[in-house]
Amino acid sequence: MRQNGPVPVPPTELTATSRVTVFPLEALTVAYTTQSTDQRDLGDIGLVTVVDEHSDGDELWRLARELGGRTADQDRARWILTQASRARMINAYANLPDATWKAYVRRRFELDALFANHDVLVTGRIALLAP
């Protein structure tokens, strides 16, 4: 069953090494990577985070409303994923193929349909530990 909005989750810490795209979005520095729910490595979870030790990732949801003009949660989630996938496609800032990172997830949102190859969007903050 899909939820009605970005669900706050207990702060969840994830650490991994993966491809990370870092890009500017307004006054933020944003990092985008993917996670997989199973061994197929489909990257069905889009992890879009703010590179800032004080962020909780809610800035992304506000920007989707303010800049993207989106008020519905599904539309805001799609706007966030669009910014991330667009930055990756055009190699907007930095593409780190094997970055080690630690993310602090604060929100999880299940999309009502596959979008940009993702079923789920999670947001929060990230620390890049090694390129």
- Please enumerate in sequence order all residues whose Cβ is within 8 A of that of 10, keeping only pairs 6 or more positions apart, or say none: none
Any domain includes 2: no
Separation between Cα atoms, residue 105 and residue 81, nearest integer Å: 16
Question: Which domain does 14 fall in, by range?
Answer: 7-130
Question: What pTM, to 2 d.p., does this model score?
Answer: 0.89
Residue 97 has pLDDT above 80, yes or no: yes
Q: What is the pLDDT of residue 90?
A: 87
- Specify the higher pLDDT residue, 68 or 110: 110
Any domain includes 1: no
- As a whole number, the mean pLDDT across the chain is 89
Cα dihedral 117, 62, 55, 96 sign: positive
Number of domains present in the structure of the chain: 1
